[in-house]
Amino acid sequence: MSTREQHDILGELFREDRNLAAVPGLEELDSLIHACLAPKTPQPAARKKVLPLKSKAGASTKKTTHYLREDVFDGLTQAKVILKRLLPAGAKGKASKSNLVNYAVNTLLREIEEKGAQSSIIKKILEKK
């Protein structure tokens, strides 16, 4: 087949005024392309587990500012002091305020994941509306 006799199939596909019957097989190709692009019915997504929040080796920490009520701040400080008294000598360093906040957030996420809308934190938030 010479160059003059060859059809520009891609040109036919992308032209707005295309005549699908003009090129043999073009209609089938077009329907196949559109069948593959057709939106599929949404499958129920597998619920992504939030937990466990595992610390990654070499992961950095981020400095952040959060405003706490004074009694909560005092409670955090008191919890740190009490834990340092209760923990053995080698583990006292793990009772930092940052670690306590990390433990608390992990515990909170675990409860929300396990109990969902029935978790105590959600109930407390809804009570304060």
The Cα–Cα gap between 98 and 68 comes to 14
Contact 112, 119 (CB under 8 A): yes
Cα-flanking dihedrals φ and ψ of residue 108, to 5°?
-60, -45
pTM: 0.53
pLDDT band at 125 (very low <50, low <70, confident <90, very high): confident
For residue 119, the 8-state DSSP code is: S
The Cα–Cα gap between 121 and 110 comes to 11
How many CB atoms are located within 10 Å of the residue 112 CB? 17
Q: What is the pLDDT of residues 3-60, one digit of tens each?
A: 566 777 677 666 666 565 666 776 777 777 766 665 665 555 555 565 556 666 667 7
